[in-house]
Amino acid sequence: MEVLDEAVSLIRQAPLSLLSLYYLGALPFCLALVYFYFDMTQSADAEAHLPGGALLLTALYFWMKTCQAVFARKLLVLLEGEDPEPWNLPRWANTALLQIIYGGSWVIVYPLALIITLPFGWVSAFYHNISIVATSSKSTVRSSLTEAAELSRLWPKQNHLILGILLAALLFLFLNLAVFFSMIPSLLNMFFGILTIFDENGSAWNNSSFYLDVLVFCFLILNPFNKAVYVLRCFYGRARLSGADLKAELHRQYRFRQEQASVGGLVALLLVSLAFLALPVRADTGAQPVPVPASATATPASTTARLDQAIQKTLQKDEFAWRLPRPETDTQNDGIIARTIRHFLQYVEHGLQKLLAPVEKLLQRFIEWLFGSGRKHDLSDHGWTLLGAIPWRLVFVTLLVAVVGCLILLFVRHFRRRAAHPAAVLATAPVRSVDLEADNVRADELPEDSWLSLAQQLIERGELRLALRAFYLATLSVLAQSQLVRLSAAKSNRDYLLELTRRLRGNAAAVQPFRQNINLFEASWYGTHAVTGAIIETMRANHQQVRSHATT
């Protein structure tokens, strides 16, 4: 898809400072999330750490959402060429407030949409759009909600296809990173002779903390690209009314020169700094060595009580507390509200356990089949242990699903391209009245045969200039029906030509007639060239050539 290619190009154009802003918000939250999860699952003092840790994690989450919003907005500025207002304190504060409001609802709405599945695509697009549109000092909760909802409804097929591609990329990246991280201990042992616990037990990495770490790395790698994709969707959605894509082209050269100048200044500053750091530093020869006392006072011997006290104090540290059992919580002195909430949660937990017990059994059987838990490996050979620990069934099923999905997609696109409306039915349909003089006439307002019938009627009345436009719209209509171009009011004729060239991989036999029709249409419609019968016949012949290539 074109939007994915443009997203990669947009990320590559982003300056280092912009990516640093994103990771300035994402890295603290991800590190705190990993630490919080490990502390809550392993530490003996988890209940004591829970309130402070949860509060800190929540604050870092909202900080990450704010930095993501600023990152997405500045990516949009790279496309539009200018930002109407500076990033001052009121704008930062309003952006943070809106992200806190919508980010808080994301924790509830997003999982529900994922469970229901059907509205997940629109909900995902909505929250991505919120990160982009709710970034102005004048933005309000209502205005951001309205604009984000309108943009999320655009191009639903593209949105769901993007989600599918990103999900496949996430799975592929997760498998690659998991295999890479699990190979690191064997590589350290192979090249440097460093022994780790993973060399003694090849399956020691198979735990929830390892999988969480891998998911965090996947998030840090893929999420900036995901933001760039939805920034492009918002950009094109706004450009339908504002013409922002045309303005962006005018500002591109100026922005490029400005970036080059800033990069040159940073490089010069770096070289000067390195030159100063490379200067030798002379030691101060006049300094006298500090005299060392001839003897030191002997420390008194620790008594048994002091030794026990030191041991207990040492065991209270975080690096040792996770090995101790958790103390039992005294719930007898709890108030009526706390007891009511605890009983309700226990009732809900018991009900969910009974409800999910069959699902858990089926899932456990599936996982055992998928990962082959009954296999045994020879731990004396670290290389074979590592290969045996790879979930080959999971890799096989993933590749099989990807191949089948690609085949189904190609099959559906092939038969949609070949599908055409019966000519007899279209010929008998009445031609709806269309004002060809209007600037907002679209090629998808009439089917191809209706445009051709309208063109023939205009030729019979001697209105050759309008017939010329009808022939051109008929050509665009057949290309759109064959999914070779995507109609949009923001596109120019050159955009359609480039899109057709890319889709047909430069097939000159199909592209050249369309290029000639564009030249004939623009010369007469926008220029002063008179429309003659020869031009009309050329347009008709070129249309037939384009149609023959589009429907085969």
Q: What is the tens place of the pLDDT at every residue in 471-513?
A: 889 988 888 888 888 888 778 888 888 888 888 776 777 788 8
Mean pLDDT over each residue of the chain, to the nearest integer? 78
Residues 6+ apart with CB under 8 A from 226: 128, 166
pLDDT digits (tens, 9 = 90+) for 36-88: 998 888 877 888 888 898 999 999 999 999 999 999 999 988 888 777 788 89
Distance CA 488, CA 238 (A): 12
Give just the sign of the alpha carbon dihedral 65, 71, 76, 80: positive
**Residue 433 pLDDT level (bands cut at 50, 70, 90):** low
- The proportion of the chain whose per-residue pLDDT surpasses 70, expressed as a percent, equals 75
* Phi-psi map region of 290: left, alpha, beta (phi>0 left; psi -120 to 50 alpha): beta
pLDDT of res. 246? 62
The pTM score is: 0.53
∠ CA 255-261-262 to the nearest 5 degrees? 90
Instruction: Note the pLDDT tens digit of each residue in 286-318.
Output: 445 545 444 444 444 556 777 777 777 776 666
What's the pLDDT at 92? 92
**How would residue 248 be classed by pLDDT, with cut points 50, 70 and 90?**
low
pLDDT value of position 31: 94
Angle in degrees, CA 147, 152, 153, rounded to 5: 105
| pLDDT at residue 357, as a whole number | 82
Q: What is the pLDDT of residues 169-193, one digit of tens each?
A: 999 999 999 888 888 888 888 888 7
Please check whether residue 515 is in contact with residue 500, taking contact to mean a CB–CB distance below 8 angstroms. Answer: no
Three-state SS string over 184-223 comes to: HHHHHHHHHCCCCHHHHCCCCCCCHHHHHHHHHHHHHHHH
Q: For residue 548, what pLDDT is reported?
A: 84
Q: How far does Cα 506 stand from its chain's mean position?
A: 30
Cα-based distances in Å from 352 to 112, 137, 236, 356: 16, 44, 45, 6
- In which band, very low, low, confident or very high, does the pLDDT at 338 lie, cut at 50, 70 and 90? confident
Among 211, 214, 164, CA closest to 401: 164
Rounded average pLDDT over 369-374: 59
Which of the four CATH numbers 3.30.70, 4.10.280, 1.25.40, 1.20.120 does domain 423-550 have? 1.20.120
What would the two tokens of residue 495 be?
Answer: 């955009």
Which positions ≥6 away from 6 have C-beta within 8 Å? Answer: 232
Neighbours of 367 (CB within 10 A): 13
- pLDDT digit string, tens, across residues 93-142: 999 999 999 888 888 888 888 888 778 888 888 999 999 888 888 888 88
Beta-carbon-side half-sphere exposure of residue 527 (alpha carbons within 13 Å)? 10
Please give the single-letter amino acid code of residue 168.
A
